[in-house]
Amino acid sequence: MELSPEEKRKIYEEEKARIEAREQIERERREMPQATSTGLPPRDAGLLCYIGGWITGIIFFIIEQKNRWVRFHAAQSIVVFGTITVAGKPIKHDIVIAPDGKVRKRKKKLSKQVYGTSHTLSLAEAEETWQQGARMLIIGTGHVDRVRLSPEAQAYLEGKGCQVELLPTPKAIERWNEAKGDVIGLFHITC
């Protein structure tokens, strides 16, 4: 699937609006009382909203009556956590967007085989992701910034002259939408 400049702009605008909403909620959280219906600190309750995906989101949305910040994260986990929207189509798995705009599923099994997790990008996955002529790889590290490069993957990409930027996924999407030229995007859509 190739993305036109208009589709890229739309993705950029949608992600920009999400980031601005999150920043506004964060400002409000700092200003609001720290009490929650569960008695948990708001940051803990907000994190727990995502642990079980939409299921814990629903639970916290129902039981949390005092703290708007926690309710926001509960609602967000129900609606958007674990998806990425590309050209108006929600996708429920990690993706790679090639420099030509083609979108495909990330082959995270290559990293899981080596590290037991997809949070460390293996050499094999780096080799599979990189494409001839790509000058940059933007990695969306998840909503809580978990994904990292293995030393071997980093050395491989450096050897190919490919600059790597690791950013939390919402910021990585914004950065990818602004990028010009031969850029690859790899986006981890959960934690």
Question: Is the per-residue pLDDT at 2 higher than 70?
Answer: yes
pLDDT of residue 150 exceeding 90 = yes
Phi, psi of 164 (to 5 degrees): -120, 130
- Residue 29 binned pLDDT confidence (cut-offs 50, 70, 90): low
Residue 165 sits at φ, ψ, to 5 deg, of: -120, 125
3-state secondary structure 129-152: HCCCCCCEEEEECCCCCCCEECHH
pLDDT for residue 87 is more than 90: no
Question: How many angstroms separate the CA atoms of 144 and 43, rounded?
Answer: 12
Beta carbons within 8 Å of 13's beta carbon, 6+ residues apart: none
85-187 architecture in CATH?
A: 3-Layer(aba) Sandwich (3.40)
Q: Is the pLDDT of residue 105 over 60?
A: yes
**3-class SS shares of the chain: helix, strand, coil, % to 5:** 50, 15, 35
In this predicted structure, the answer to whether residue 30 has a pLDDT above a threshold of 80 is no
Q: Taking the CA atoms of the chain, what radius of gyration do you get in angstroms? A: 18
More reliable by pLDDT, 78 or 115:
115
Task: Please name which of 65, 41, 60, 35 lies closest in space to residue 50, comparing C-alpha atoms.
Answer: 60
Instruction: Grade residue 154 by pLDDT with cuts at 50, 70 and 90.
Output: very high
| In the chain, domain spans | 5-84, 85-187
Contact 139, 94 (CB under 8 A): no
pLDDT score, position 15: 82
Show the DSSP H helices in 5-53 as ranges.
Answer: 5-31, 42-51
